[in-house]
Structure 1
């Protein structure tokens, strides 16, 4: 499609806070709802600093929630624990739960696989974060803060983390991350939203059209741990440099798709970038509705997971069942298992330094 996407109409920016649920231990989970009535509206929960809903209009102005979410707090602490959550301290995998940092090896908490995934069994997704509203002239949102103690899930150093969600009048959601530590550690933060631009619970993402600005990806073994050098995408289903339907790519006969269980669960090595701010790296479109999502980031990698292992055991807040391919995750990140791979971008954070990362999900509509 050659026609330029149409910016979303914008009204006044608003924000409100309300209690959402009370956990068994008495902690209160708040919900923050903010944005522009004419463009997009977000719902963020203090549990997991979680993007619970994101309402965006289609080309005819009809609004729908385009991110998958847990229908209850029990789901958010169970099968839907990562849905929309802030992932840390370390997004993706650290092999064997062993973390080498500046000459010392630390033993991390692991999942049943024997590896550390998304910060461990009790990662940042399971915490209740402190939160405060943020108002700017053309943006509104919420800033969430978490203090992670030394040896939290085995990670060294006490870490203070902030995640800021901001919506602007043009329909862009900016997620900014910041962290400081009192001892050498590793940090790799991301958001684990699953997108379905047709609307959550309305079907699969196989008809979505995806483009990614990457010439290489990191191949994985049977436990999804990367190995060896980066592989070129050219001539493989991983070549997303030209837009194409997701369903056409993942039905190809390729050993890496089989190792991942029948879809994408891989890190794309984004093209080098010399600037300071977030740059465009991917576009996801839903031709039928016209909804278009552009991803911009300061990070060097993009993990794409096509939700092919969803088994229908979860029901979303809208009542729809989440079967295979119900959503697609576009997780901006450093590379998986980088502590064991010196050639990968470093994730080490030291005292006196500040971790900074920014990702933007910009929404618009393609004309019919």
Structure 2
């Protein structure tokens, strides 16, 4: 197990966590951004499996949220406002008329305090931040702690903890774009996905939840038995078309399987297993990713990565029947998502 530190910009440090089997994860203290994950393919070649910029300066704006920690609320808040305890709170509208991923000064834009730890079996870092009352328009002084742990089972464990002195919306996630082909050799068209979910959230043309939950049966959103992502890229199903030829939808987990999501690349043999205590996940297939951004291995293009944003649903602020994002005053927020990397048998 090993931790390496590298100063990448004047105020930013990149920490690389490595286990005894060659897997490594690189994280910035700025935005808690995962810049690189190195894992082997079936031939033993270690390659990067996430999207990241070739120039660290590009993370300063990072409109695609590559690898970033997201908060206070992951996802879109309709109308950039919400009502809580009979009071209406206004937020920054940074996605048309709506509020996205905590707004322009969200957690992806802050410099986190970092502490490191290492044992014989795991290595990691803990990121901490105090978000003041009305920061970004949200009520409550919130203390946040996020821990990234890499162990010798080739697991990356993300643990989120928070506490607020006022009742407030909060749901945190990480926005890594995965591509198991290695070094972005291919798009994710042929990646196979399994999701333990029989319901997903219907979106309108602004990608805002309508308030309806749809059954996945007989649609390109039925991943219970596994399917390739390209099934939804060139499909006439209205929800795929709304998302610009792909997926940007919240799936509610049934929690009937050991893993809530599985991503597989048949060419490289890489498999990523997702296990979480979150109620659901936004799967985003980089439908809106602009062409030509200078990434570490190539230029960006549509469908180059897939995100698994495990979280609750901000739609719960405006509609009944969705997993709530409300954290009560004094309550402990504790969420965990484990990404396990292995090779096909």
1:366 aligns with 2:334: no
Q: 1:221-251: per-residue Cα shift (whole Å, max 9, x none)?
A: 0011111331000000000111221112332
Deviation at 1:272? Answer: 4.2
Aligned in 2, Cα 1:351/1:136: closer, same or farther, shift over 3 Å? farther
What residue is the counterpart of 1:332 in the other structure? Answer: 310
Runs of 4+ with deviation above 6 angstroms = none
Q: 1:165-224: per-residue Cα shift (whole Å, max 9, x none)?
A: 001101010000001112111111000000000124322000111111100100100011
What residue is the counterpart of 2:156 in the other structure? Answer: 173
What residue is the counterpart of 1:280 in the other structure? Answer: 259
Deviation at 1:80? Answer: 4.8
Stretches of structure 1 lacking an aligned partner (at least 5 in a row): 1-12, 23-27
Q: 1:292-315: per-residue Cα shift (whole Å, max 9, x none)?
A: 000111101110111122221312
Matches within 5 A, 1:54-203: 54-80=37-63, 82-203=65-186
Deviation at 1:74? Answer: 3.0
CA distance in 2, matches of 1:130, 1:156: 22
Aligned residues: 345
What residue is the counterpart of 2:330 in the other structure? Answer: 352
SS, match of residue 14 in structure 2: strand
1:311 aligns with 2:290: yes
Stretches of structure 2 lacking an aligned partner (at least 5 in a row): none
CA distance in 1, matches of 2:120, 2:258: 23
Deviation at 1:143? Answer: 0.4
Which of residues 4, 10, 17 in structure 2 aligns to 1:16? Answer: 4
1:208 aligns with 2:191: yes
Matches within 5 A, 1:261-276: 261-272=244-255
CA distance in 2, matches of 1:254, 1:344: 23
CA distance in 1, matches of 2:53, 2:203: 29
| TM-score normalised according to structure 2 size | 0.96
| TM-score normalised according to structure 1 size | 0.90
Which of residues 214, 225, 240 in structure 2 aligns to 1:231? Answer: 214
Q: 1:132-175: per-residue Cα shift (whole Å, max 9, x none)?
A: 10224421110001111111110111111111000110101000
CA distance in 1, matches of 2:95, 2:251: 26
Q: CA RMSD in A?
A: 1.5
Maintained 8 Å contact 1:209/1:286:
yes
SS, match of residue 231 in structure 1: strand
Name whichever of 161-170 and 240-249 sits farther off. 240-249
Maintained 8 Å contact 2:235/2:241:
no
Maintained 8 Å contact 2:273/2:341:
yes
What residue is the counterpart of 2:273 in the other structure? Answer: 294
What residue is the counterpart of 1:10 in the other structure? Answer: none
